Structure 1
Amino acid sequence: MKDDVILKAVNISKQYRLGLVGTGTLTHDLNRLWHKIRGKEDPYLQIGAVNDRSATASSDYVWALQDINFEVKRGEILGIIGKNGAGKSTLLKILSRVTSPTTGSIKTKGRIASLLEVGTGMHPELTGRENIYLNGAILGMTKSEIASKIDEIVEFSGCQMYIDTPVKRYSSGMRVRLGFAVAAFLEPDILVVDEVLAVGDAEFQKKAIGKMKDISSTSGRTVLFVSHNMASVQQLCTRAILLENGEITYSGDTSKTINKYLVQDRLKVKDVDLKKIISNQKDNVFKLNEIKVHQLKVNNLVFYTHRNIHITYSFNVLKEVIGLRIGFDLYDMKSGIILWRSYHDDNSNEFQTVALGKRSLHVKIPKNLLKKGAYSLKPLVGIHNNRWIINDDKLLIHFEIENTGGVDSVYAGNRPGVIMPLMDWKMQDV
């Protein structure tokens, strides 16, 4: 490996047998042994389905990972993202030597500390203090090295009151706090973190992200970070890779990788699918016929910051009711929901009624409000203080916003935050 490369994955693949515990039947094991004696390849490596959890199994074997290749440099924070079942945790278990790859090899320099699951490596009958020494010993630290760090570990974890209490009495969040503190402060060369921050509270997450940045920038240590929280990945990682169905589909700049992840299903959701979902919405009060998100003179779902975004509903009112609410949730794909607005709320009349018959409703999101990024709009229809008529997570309309720096645009470059409304500033002589 190059001097600045601390970890290298070469042609990593992992195969599992579906439906059974173990590698398979005695016949399969004998067949493998016979091929190995003759110096031939495992015959079952030639078969196996792609790791798509939503598909029907077409083979007894599945490739959880296939042909994974990447390098990580010393001091780098690498994000690993992808949907549930994409192979992220399997990859981290191989990197941490919890399990071995079916084919390929891992080359590393230095100690690896892993936080793969809540409580992993913690003995429930031992106290928090005893577990610190146990985990340190597993990482190859001497007793004196651990003792020199123990006060910092306990303080960072925030578990001072319970440090001499058996870990089995800890909450899941306290276990994560202690486990992370041990792994971070005992200074491994490579720290592997798998979604454990999701268990911690906001204050701990902030501390943990700050610590990971610190051990990377000041100590030159490497972090591999898996999370479904794109804001954390964006904030923390210097580079990212995207896994899909057990394969790396993109690797590079963190922002670009996140955008690839957020839009990877977009082409699979066709207009005909949305119409089918809409047609299945059955109610005796309201029937949605179509919803359209568009910008004038734009024929696709890539919009511009300096133009209004128009939302048009076409529907039938089948029964006149008080408080018919027609609106939407707007999501920023990195950080979650931005806002909920409705015709009912913006007209400030909870006793609003809509006349019977075929109707349309139009609203616009003002220009120069949303910054460049990926968004989703979820239409919502309900009866105030009564029930939802339409509230379907499958009924999402995805779109992207680009900053073109057009003549009407007041923004340029990549700004922090989610929204960028025009503000009314007034300066006066005093």
Structure 2
Amino acid sequence: MKDKDIILKAENISKQYRLGLVGTGTISHDLNRWWNRIRGKEDPYLKVGESNDRSTKGSSEYVWALKDINFEVKRGEVLGIIGKNGAGKSTLLKILSKVTGPTTGEIKTRGRIASLLEVGTGFHGEMTGRENIFLNGAILGMTKKEITDKIDEIIDFSGCQRYIDTPVKRYSSGMTVRLAFAVAAFLEPEILVIDEVLAVGDAEFQKKAIGKMQDISRGEGRTVLFVSHNMAAVKSLCTRALVLKNGKTEFEGGVEEAVEFYLDGTVTDSKVTVFNDRKGNGKLQIKEVFTHGKNIKVKPQIGESFKMVFNLNNPIEAKLIDVQMDLRIDDNLGQRIAWLSTSLVDFGKDDEVVNKLVFSMDKLNLNKGVYYVTTYITVKKEITDWIQNAFSFEVEEGDFYGNGVFVSSNQSKALFNFEVSNKL
């Protein structure tokens, strides 16, 4: 790296995986790789492989999680990395953090990298919070004296003073991420890599963590790579952004332009039938969703009736009395607009088998824009289907007050209703 301001450089980074199996696969594949290697030729299986489109069924057993990624990050810069689930964001950060190696390409860095890739990564459950601070500090290359000098600040920032001498296995996920973030932020790495872990913390901690990241980048001149689905956090923190799709770079540039580019490609059709990255035991799942306004073929408008119709797959014939469904509606910046739950309504149909749930608003009072819905279903308090950002819908401006004047926003109250049915 010739430019002294460049602290990290990714050159032609690609990562290939073989689907369905652990390892490289068959003995014949290994022999082919070995024979090409001793002849000084490249891996023959790098020439095959499909793009990383998780929503389609491919014909190849190889897939490129990343393909030919190139970018540079300067000292003190905050680079946002955004994209849909499965776009390759976490794979890229794991390569940058040297958790895994690239199939092709090279990462060049100046200085230490500290990573927060998953909640509790690198923490030992049987050790106390204090002991884990020293353990993580040592992993990051710090001396015992450096850690000791910072430990009071770390504990104070994490807000875990009362539990600092308690084994981490007794911590909640929020407490764990608080402590992990405090260790990474205060032990002064030159590059801080953060992958969506702040979503676990509460609102107070998220605000404090973003403030700390701004301090270490702008005030202390250190570099941050930040992955998040919260576009408000990306806009407030990042100076530049990278948009990934199916393992490839779709856009690189200013953060405002990158967020706008990303959001333009995330609105789904009225009928949603493909759901990925779902969690739960699968006993009761969403099969398809229809979203529509008064006119089924037109996007919903402010002030008109609005429905989301959930057709469910219910092989266990779960009954209403056992089922709870939550809907969490976020705006295009990731800010929570509404949180609705069937547990707040008395249907009087406890013995009815559930195959359909209908969410309806008599008078839509959401502002013009794009909204994202997270779904959460439980049966007898066990999670059966949990999908983050399962689908999106777009609201158009409309005549909310019925006076012939279209408005883009309003402050009226809306009536939310749930209906249940055993018919599809």
Shift of 1:90: 0.4
> Quick one: distance in 2 between partners of 1:16 and 1:145?
39
> Quick one: distance in 2 between partners of 1:137 and 1:44?
38
Q: What's the counterpart of residue 157 of structure 2?
A: 156
Report the 3-state secondary structure (helix = DSSP H, G, I; strand = E; otherwise coil) of the residue aligned with 1:292. coil
Which whole-Å deviations, capped at 9, do the CAs of 1:298-344 have from their partners, x for residues lacking one?
A: xxxxxxxxxxx785889xxxxxxxxxxxxxx996322446579xxxx
Which whole-Å deviations, capped at 9, do the CAs of 1:277-316 have from their partners, x for residues lacking one?
A: xxx999xxxx965353599xxxxxxxxxxxxx785889xx
For residue 298 of structure 2, the aligned residue among 289, 292, 308 is 292
- Give the 3 Å change call, closer, same or farther, for CA 419–157 of structure 1 in structure 2: farther
> Quick one: distance in 2 between partners of 1:183 and 1:377?
31
Question: Identity, % of aligned pairs?
Answer: 65
> Quick one: distance in 1 between partners of 2:153 and 2:176?
16
Shift of 1:80: 0.6
> Quick one: distance in 1 between partners of 2:114 and 2:177?
14
> Quick one: distance in 2 between partners of 1:8 and 1:281?
42
- Give the 3 Å change call, closer, same or farther, for CA 262–281 of structure 1 in structure 2: closer
Contact in 1 for aligned 2:78/2:225 (Cα 8 Å): yes
- Give the 3 Å change call, closer, same or farther, for CA 36–399 of structure 1 in structure 2: farther
Contact in 2 for aligned 1:293/1:311 (Cα 8 Å): no
> Quick one: distance in 1 between partners of 2:127 and 2:60?
44
Q: What's the counterpart of residue 16 of structure 1?
A: 17
Quick one: which amino acid aligns to residue 331 of structure 2?
A: D
- Give the 3 Å change call, closer, same or farther, for CA 202–339 of structure 1 in structure 2: closer
Structure 1 segment 27-38 matched on structure 2, within 5 A: 27-38=28-39
Which whole-Å deviations, capped at 9, do the CAs of 1:207-253 have from their partners, x for residues lacking one?
A: 10010000001110000111111111111111111110001101111
Structure 1 segment 349-360 matched on structure 2, within 5 A: none
Quick one: which amino acid aligns to residue 370 of structure 2?
A: Y
Shift of 1:26: 1.6
Matched, 1:83 2:89: no
Structure 1 segment 273-312 matched on structure 2, within 5 A: 290=296, 292-293=298-299
Report the 3-state secondary structure (helix = DSSP H, G, I; strand = E; otherwise coil) of the residue aligned with 2:40. coil
Which whole-Å deviations, capped at 9, do the CAs of 1:169-225 have from their partners, x for residues lacking one?
A: 111111111110000000000000011101111111111001000000111000011
For structure 2, the residue ranges without an aligned partner over 5 or more in a row are 273-287, 308-327, 340-361, 374-388, 398-407, 412-424
Quick one: which amino acid aligns to residue 332 of structure 1?
A: D
- Give the 3 Å change call, closer, same or farther, for CA 258–125 of structure 1 in structure 2: same
Shift of 1:105: 0.3
Aligned residues: 334
- Give the 3 Å change call, closer, same or farther, for CA 26–293 of structure 1 in structure 2: closer
Q: What's the counterpart of residue 321 of structure 2?
A: none
> Quick one: distance in 2 between partners of 1:146 and 1:107?
27
For residue 398 of structure 1, the aligned residue among 394, 399, 403 is 394
Contact in 2 for aligned 1:292/1:313 (Cα 8 Å): no
- Give the 3 Å change call, closer, same or farther, for CA 128–394 of structure 1 in structure 2: closer
- Give the 3 Å change call, closer, same or farther, for CA 310–125 of structure 1 in structure 2: closer
Which whole-Å deviations, capped at 9, do the CAs of 1:391-423 have from their partners, x for residues lacking one?
A: xx989653689xxxxxxxxxxxxxxxx9698xx
- Give the 3 Å change call, closer, same or farther, for CA 99–313 of structure 1 in structure 2: closer
**Structure 2-normalised TM-score?**
0.70
Report the 3-state secondary structure (helix = DSSP H, G, I; strand = E; otherwise coil) of the residue aligned with 2:296. strand
> Quick one: distance in 2 between partners of 1:196 and 1:7?
22
Q: What's the counterpart of residue 217 of structure 1?
A: 218
- Give the 3 Å change call, closer, same or farther, for CA 154–146 of structure 1 in structure 2: same
> Quick one: distance in 1 between partners of 2:184 and 2:306?
53
Q: What's the counterpart of residue 113 of structure 1?
A: 114
> Quick one: distance in 2 between partners of 1:281 and 1:84?
19
> Quick one: distance in 1 between partners of 2:22 and 2:130?
36
Contact in 2 for aligned 1:292/1:311 (Cα 8 Å): no
**Structure 1-normalised TM-score?**
0.69
Q: What's the counterpart of residue 242 of structure 1?
A: 243
Q: Return structure 1 stretches of 4+ with deviation > 2 angstroms.
A: 287-295, 309-314, 329-332, 335-340, 362-365, 374-378, 393-401, 418-421
Contact in 2 for aligned 1:290/1:313 (Cα 8 Å): no
Matched, 1:145 2:146: yes
Q: What's the counterpart of residue 332 of structure 1?
A: 331
